[in-house]
Structure 1
Amino acid sequence: MNKGVASTARGIAAAVLAALFVAVAGTALHRQTMVISGVDLSWGVCAALLMLASVQLWLAAWSGSVIPTAAAGVVAYATVGALSSGGPDKQLLLGDAVGNVWVFGIAVVTLIMLLVASRLRKRWRTAAG
């Protein structure tokens, strides 16, 4: 097997496992709120999206490619979609503002991390020689 192909396959395998973790942990985390002066602040959705972004950036740095970053975004989005498509009594994600920010935020964060990772990859290549 070609060294580049093996490296890409290893990166995608790591991305799938990381994305499954982020999707499940983020779904559990996205509903967390804090009451300050009688106002509910939804900090969990921000933390869940930040966790996704950091995992995607780590995957890009570890693998030296943007492919695992994209794979992580696709797998996380699909997993969260599957978690939200249960029956009326089995849904883990509600169709409210916080749930929508979590679901659609995955796509937005993935696009941003793809741009960041591709720019950083260019810098890493020029710095390496």
Structure 2
Amino acid sequence: NKVPHPFLLFIYLIIVLMVTTAILSAFGVSAKNPTDGTPVVVKNLLSVEGLHWFLPNVIKNFSGFAPLGAILALVLGAGLAERVGLLPALMVKMASHVNARYASYMVLFIAFFSHISSDAA
């Protein structure tokens, strides 16, 4: 019951995206561009023309996503904190000094942290 490697998750999502664009372009789906009102037609990424557009634009799409830098820094920081044992130690320290009245809130907080650090709880 393990989650696949993140690289495989990206590959699976790209495959789902390509199949979805093939289906939507076959039905002629389009949307209105909110800035100028022109129609934007779905491109079939499984066609030769779609692959010629997709492959050179992959890096531009990822680098053009503004929050990507913050997300990568957050993921790197959380991974480092988990590997060096900071998150499990922090959970034990927090749980040992909690009032009985706030124990249920602490359990929720620790559950949140254990979700972030997969094997700490």
Q: Normalising to structure 1: TM-score of the pair?
A: 0.35
Larger relative contact order (CA 8 Å, sep ≥ 6): 1
What TM-score does the superposition give when structure 2 sets the normalisation length?
0.36
* Structure ID, larger Rg: 2
